[in-house]
Each structure stands twice: as C-alpha cells, then as structure tokens.
Structure 1
C-alpha cells in the first residue's frame, strides 16, 4: 500500500519535477506549541537555514535521496525530528552517526514522516490524520497533559515542539522523537501482549489468528480486542473456560461454531481507526451477515449501543487511549466490556456518495472552495458508470459556507441516454430488513429524470432533480415523499423518496441510476439515505459538517 500511495504522489508531480524525480528511489488547557511562519522557498531550504536544529535530518534526506524531492514544488506536511531526536534514535540503534544507518530502513521511516497535503495543527483530531503517509500507514495525534500543559502527541511516540512552520511547499511540524513504522501484524501485536492471552488463544483455536497474521496488497483487518480483565469479570479465567462457555460444537475451528462466530464478530475486513468507526453507523464483521454498530457519545466510543423497541441496550466502551494501534496489516482497538452477536434490527445509513476511497486521499477532500476534480470511467472501485461521449464524474466542494450539501461536497454527473447511461454505487453495509430510500440532491434545471434500481430491482418513483422543494408543513410533505434532509441552510437541496426496499442479507449492495432522457443538464447528487421503514423518516437531519440533529 505504501508504494502505491507514494507512486500516486509522484505521478501527480511528474511534469513539474521530472529533472528532480529522476534521482529518486521511491516511486482541558489550551495546547502549548510554538507556531512559526517563514519565507523560505521550500522544506529543504528551511532545514538548511536552520542546520543547528536539522543537520542530522538533512544527512538522512540526502542518504535516502529525498532531499531533492523536498526542494521541489509540492504540497506536503512533514513531521521533522530535530538533531536531539535523531541522536536518541541513533543511541537506540547502537549507532554513532547517520552514516551507519541502513538506507532502506531510513527510506521507510522518512516516508512515515511525510504526507502529501498541508495539514495544520488546527485540523488535528484525537485520532488519525485525514491523509495517509507516503509509507501507507496512518499517523495518529492526540493531546496529552504534561507538567500542567497540553502537548500534541504523534503516534504516541513524539511531541510536537514547534508547529505550523509554513514554507513554499507545505507545512513543517518539529518533533522531539523519530517516528517508528509499525512492524507487527495485528496477530503479532495481540500475541506479544500477555493481557490479551485468552483472546489470542481463542483466535488460534479458531484459525483466525493465521488470517490476522497475513500481509499483502489489499489485506487489512480491524480487531476489537478484549483483555483478560474483561473475561475475568465474566468469571472466565482462561481459554478453556471461554471455550466451555461459547463453543457449542466443541470444535472452535468449525465456522458454524459459536466461539468461532464470537471471535469473528470482533474482526472487520478493513483497516478502520476510531475516526472511521464513528463516522459510519454499522460495520460488517467476519461473522457472516453480522454487523456491529458504533457511535460517539460525548467523548465515548461505544460498540453496539442501540435503542430497540424503546429500550436502550448499553454498548461496550472502547478504551480510546489504548486503541488506534497501527499494525502492518490493520489496526487494533481495545474494548473494555464484552460484546457478542445478537439479533440485529435494521439501522439507518446516511450514505455520502462523495466519500469514496479515491476521493478521500485528495487534498481537496471536504475542503470548501477547492477546485473540482474530474474522474473518467474506471476511476472508482465502488462506482461503476458507462455511456457515450466520454462520461465523467466530478467531485465538487461547496463554494461558500452557505452551500447546501452534507460535508460541503457532492458528485456532479450528467446522467442521460447520450452521456452517462447508468451510474451504479456500491452501498455501505446495510442490515437485512425493510428500508425507505431517499435521494438527496441540489435542484438544477434542464436535467433528465432518473430511474432508481436497488440490486437491479426497479424502485417505483423516478427522481427529477429539476423540481424545487415546494415549501409547506414538513410532515405533510414527508407523506408525499419530499423532505429537507439538511438541518442548517438547505437552500435548494432536498430529498425525494425513491421507494421501499427489502435487504435480504446484511452487507453491501448496489444502487443504480439510469437517465431517462437526452438532455444537456447535469445531476448534483449529495447523499442516499436508507432509513428503516418503521423509524422516523425526517429526523435526525444532518448538518453540513456531518453532525446529526435530532428533533
């Protein structure tokens, strides 16, 4: 993954940097940090001007042949270790100079310190940064109190000691330690921690341990681990007691065995940090047709806290400080309470169609007023479209704070017989059940009406984006299949009901749009809402920043 991320970054700069890149080898209290600006042309120039702080870093950049890269045009963020930080690193390695370090290892380490975007500390959150590093591993940040002052901690390894140093090709954050890449698989991380010995033994008995010890392109897992203390509160002191409680066949390796299913229910087939968990309401697990739900409640991240039939089912608390542990093949979280498979009722899903992996890596992602990005056919993993006259999909962010789009962005596509004949999305995971499907868009004139299909089954209502929100009593309009889905300043954006669907199996599905006429108009598609038919179809609404607003 790291090589592909870096290759994309390199390709984006190849025209302007061809002479340079030919030399490269790799295709509570207010936070206390120093903030600086500079007129230096680029990062390398800043490091050279401040060699008293960064002479060792310069040597590493030269040794890894990255110096020329940082001397050129671009838009980067670098976590820059000081001379003192590198001295500590050398001591840990048993070396006395940079020359004694392995060049290939240092290339990996430097890539972990570099992101292709300008990310100031004002956008840092308690969790992963929105962009992945050039190594292909995420950096996590968080505030920690030290001597009465709050400091920004990076990967739980380093402190930011000088932030937001703006140079011609990006932002530098000075740090007091060298960041170390993940070196263990999720399985190895669990095995190396004796506090997870019962959980690890169960993974080995089910065969899931070997799966979590696998690495390769596209192989990513998220594990919600339970420490021995969680099981001990249940009266389970060792693996044999766990097996006796959960294994109904006596063979945990049997994929129908309840212990196997229980352990598989703690694993997601993707790499999801806490920030990813709380931005979606449900997540598919390795247990067939079973999902977990997640929510952010104040500062707490909770698994499977839901209200069914008016009764609150308390969730399992995630230990935020002990979670977001990056592995070479995923991420490990710590859950402080036991949770297990239970009968799952349908859960509402607000599908932001612009939140695609290929868009998420862009510097423009959810940045208001950024230039449009145009994607030709074949650009997306989870969006299929075809047609004539070279159809495209454009990613567009709202031009101003009053733009009526969730997350201030949308997809622009001309769906008609003579351009994009059809556009098909792969949905997020949907729990099996009955849902009403709402198409959320911004009104635009001269555009073709759309026929909507779910898993190739036609829905009864066409969607005509020429139509304005008619105004009137909200609940009366809702009965007609019309609603405002945005809580703040919706403008000309609204949603219309396409129909009611039956989701037969829990998982990801297909929703398709087909243009019914030849027109020159375009479609501005913002969101698709799947709301269980027995739940309120109007609330919660969503604010432009993604916050849910309840009635």
Structure 2
C-alpha cells in the first residue's frame, strides 16, 4: 500500500514537471524556468537554507530520491526530524552516518513522515490525522504535559518543536525524534506485552491469534483488548480460569464455543482508530451477526453504552492513552472493563421521527402551540435528505386543539417527491436482530407522492400512499390488509400502513429510506415508524397522544 501511494505521487510530480518543461521549450521567448508555484522557497530549499538544523534530513531525502519532488510543485505535510533527532536515530541503529543505512529502510522512514496534503496543527486531534502517510500508516497526535509544558506528541515517539512552517509546497512541522514505522502485527503487539498474557492465550486457544498475525495487503483488524487487571477484577487469574468461565464446549477453537465468540466479539474488520469508532454508532465484529456500539460522551469513549427499552446499560470505558496503537495489519485499543455479547430477543421499536437531537434542544420541542421550525439540508446528524428546489424538513409541534392524533403531539413535514426531496433517510434507534414488520405512521393528506420504502437499501414490497384515508371497519380484518390505527385516543386522520417484513441481521442502528415516486406537489406528514417482531401483536399496544402505551 505504501509503495503504491509513493509511486503514484512521484509519477504525478514527474508528469507535472514534464508539462512545465514542454511549455517552456515551445515558448517564443527565453525565460528562466521556475517550477515552484510561488516565489516562496519549497521544502527542499528550506532545508538546504537551514542546513545547521536539517543537513542530515537533506541527505536522507537525496538518498531516497524524495528530494526531487519536494523541490517541485505540490501540497505536502512533512514531519521533519532535526539533525539532533537523526543523530539519536543513527546511534540507536549502531551507525554514524546516513550512508550506512539501507536505502529501503530510509524510504520507509521518510514515507512515514510525509503526507500528500497540507495539515496545520489546527487540524490535529487527540488521535489520527485525517490523511494517511505515504507509507500507508496513519500518524496520531495528542497534547501531553512534559515538565509542566504542553507539547504536541506525534505517534507517542516525538515532540513537535516548531509547527506550521509554511513553504511554497506545503507545511513543515519539525520534530525532536525520528518516527519509527509499525513493525509488529496486532498479535505480536499483544504477545510482547505481559499485561495482555491472558487475552493473548485466549486468542491462541481460539485460533484467532494466527488470523491477527498475518499482514496480507488489504486485510486489517481492530482489536479491543483487556489487560490482566480487568480479568483479575472478575476473579479470573489465568487463561484456565477464563476457559472454565466461558468455554461451554471445552474446545475454544470451536467457532460455536462461547469463549471463541467472546474473543471474536473484541475484533473488528478494518483498521478503526478511535476517531473512526466514534463517527459510527455500531461496528460489525468477527462474532457472526454481532456488533458493538460506541459513543463519545464528553471526552470518554464507551463501548456498548446503550439505552434499551428505556433503561441505560452502562458501557465499557476505552483507555484513550493506551489506545490507537498502530500495527502492520491494524490497530490495537485498550478497554478498561469487561463487556460481553448482549443476547436479546427481538423487541418492538416505536421510532418517533421527530425525536432528533437537533429538535430536542428547541424550546418548541413537544410544546403544543409552539411555532414550526424548518431545517435545510445538512441540519441533522441522523437524517439525510437531498433533492432540488431547496428541500426542507419542518418540525411541527402541533396544537392543543388539533383533531389529528400524533405521538407526543408533533410530527415532521416534508415534501418527498422526485423533484423536491428526492430521498429522505433516517438512522434508526437500536433494533435487535430478528424478523420485524415495518409500519409507517402518518397523517392522511389530499395530495402527496407515493413513497417507496427501503431498509438498509433493500426495497420493501409495499409502497405507501399517504392520500388514502382509514377505511373504517373491523380492526383485526383491516390489520390483515396492512392497515391500522396506531393512536389510541382521538386519532383523527392519522393511521399506519404496512411497508413489509424485514430481517434485521445484526443488532444495532440501521437505515430506513423513503423515495418519492412522482412529482406531486403535496407534502407528507409523517409521525413514526414501528418495527414490531412478526410473532407479536401488530395492533397493541397503541400509542396515546402523550406518548404512553395503551394495552388492549
């Protein structure tokens, strides 16, 4: 991966140089060729002008043939080790000069320091940088106190001495140590740390250690490991204790064994740093059809901190200081508490679409008679909508005298049609894996486009036509036709229609999407989506206007 990134970048710079050269040769007048984008000195020129600090770095750049394109046009960020930093590196290698080191090793070193983008310290976070290095490994940064002074730490190996030196082709950050590329697999990192001896023994017994010990191109893993101290807090003092507690077959290598599943549940496909974990609500694990959830609360990252059926389930805290450890085949994190696969039966979910974080903070939230609020595209974290003619989603708090019944009195209004809000996609609350019937609850309106419904991009069989009124008649007979009243008290013109039956493969949050099928000018007033296990009563409990559940 690193070689291909580096080769492509070098090829692109050579092509750019060639084009400039051709233009120069074909011109009518002789003039000095300047391949810089500005009159400012570029990176190589800066290092050459400051040889007292960077002469050793220039030698490395020349030996690795990187000097050429760092003297030319481009947009780079370079973490530049000083002469003193390189002297320390050479001493560690038992060498006295750059010439004594292998060129291939130096190429790997310099590629780790170089990113093909301009990244000032204002873009640094407590975690990985937004762009990958030319080696194909990420750099992580963070603020640390050293002798009472706050410093920016890079890969937990070097301190930034001088930051944000702007030159013609990018930004330089000088550092006091040479950054070392990751050289161990995730498995080797765990094995080399005695604090993870129980965890490592369990990986070996299950066979997962071998899987984590390969560095196949394009295959990456994330491991959320527990130290021996976590196991000791559970009265588990050895691998034998762990096996006795979790291995129900006595053979941890059996993929149906509880210990195997327990360990697989701590491994994710792909390389996910903490910044990646907190940007998605759930992540698929190597345990079949099982996911973990992740949340950022303040500065804490918590695994499996969930609200289920209105009850808070406390999560396991990630040790940020001991996490984001780059391996050759992924990344290693440390979790300070034990967590387990959550075995649950399918349970109904009444998804109130107006209950969004951005709406909850409004003074108008669930306050009858409050003014409506319109939200443009990009306003919501968990609602994506797009289209033409400036589509909006309107929050309607409702009114005390409204003859139509909505859960909590409020609803969302949006014109979903092929030429306005072409699609509207919601991220659901957590849904336990299983089979569910999906009901769309709305207020009937005279004109609106019929809607196609998708669950995780799979089309559901029934379109939803919100112009159709509740026909009246026997509730159970209408239920069999995919029609029901979902509001218990004074429903008015609200009703729900069946969109189809789905199989939820993994417990977690999912996507449900609506697409307008025509260009009709009417709007849609949509209240909630109900996910009801197919073997449970589809009619009761109903929802009262105040949000309480009403049994039959």
Which bin holds the TM-score, normalised by the shorter protein?
0.5 to 0.7
**Aligned-pair Cα RMSD in Å:** 4.4
SS in 1 for 2:181: coil
- 1:432 corresponds to: 433
Distance across 1 between alignment mates of 2:82 and 2:201: 42
Q: Provide the C-alpha distance between the structure 2 equivalents of 1:428 and 1:101, rounded to a whole number of angstroms.
A: 55
1:76 is aligned to 2:76: yes
Report the secondary structure of 1:130's partner residue: coil
Aligned to 1:134, what secondary structure does the other structure show? coil
After TM superposition, the structure 1 = structure 2 runs for residues 170-249 of structure 1, keeping only pairs within 5 Å, are 170-249=170-249
- Retained in 2: the 8 A contact 1:324–1:333? yes
**Is 1:113 matched up with 2:113?**
yes
Larger Rg: 2
Post-superposition offset of 1:460: 2.5
SS at match of 2:107: helix
Match runs of 1:35-434 below 5 Å: 40-343=40-343, 404=378, 432=433
Secondary structure of 2:159's match?
A: strand
CA gap of 1:452–1:149, structure 2 versus 1, over 3 A, is same
> Is the Cα contact below 8 Å between 2:48 and 2:54 reproduced in 1?
yes
The whole-number CA distance in structure 2 between the counterparts of 1:282 and 1:128 is 19
Q: SS at the partner of 2:88?
A: helix
Deviation, 1:162, is 0.5
Change (3 A) 1:436 1:113: farther
- Aligned-pair distance for 1:253? 0.4
Normalised to the residue count of structure 1, the TM-score between the two structures is 0.66
Aligned equivalents of 2:331, 2:350: Cα separation in 1 = 26
Call closer, same or farther: CA 1:39–1:517 in 2, change over 3 Å: same
How far apart, in 2, do the equivalents of 1:505 and 1:218 lie? 25
1:248 deviates by 0.4
CA separation of 1:305 and 1:428: change in aligned 2, threshold 3 A: closer
Q: Secondary structure at the match of 1:86?
A: helix
Contact 1:452 1:498 (8 Å CA) reproduced: no
Secondary structure, counterpart of 1:256 in structure 2: coil
Deviation by residue 1:325-363 (Cα, 9 ceiling, x = unmatched): 0000000001111111112578999xxxxxxxxxxxxxx
- Contact 1:187-1:212 within 8 A present in 2 as well: yes
2:460 to 457, 481, 485: 457
Question: Contact 2:378–2:384 (CA<8 Å) still a contact in 1?
Answer: no
- Give the TM-score taking structure 2 as reference length: 0.66
Shift of 1:161: 0.7
Q: Distance in 2 between matches of 1:219 and 1:233?
A: 34
Q: Structure 2: which 5+ runs fail to align?
A: 22-37, 352-375, 389-416, 441-448, 467-491, 520-527, 533-540, 544-552
Write the deviation string for residues 187-246 of structure 1: whole angstroms up to 9, x where unpaired: 000000111110000000000000000111221000000111111111111111110110
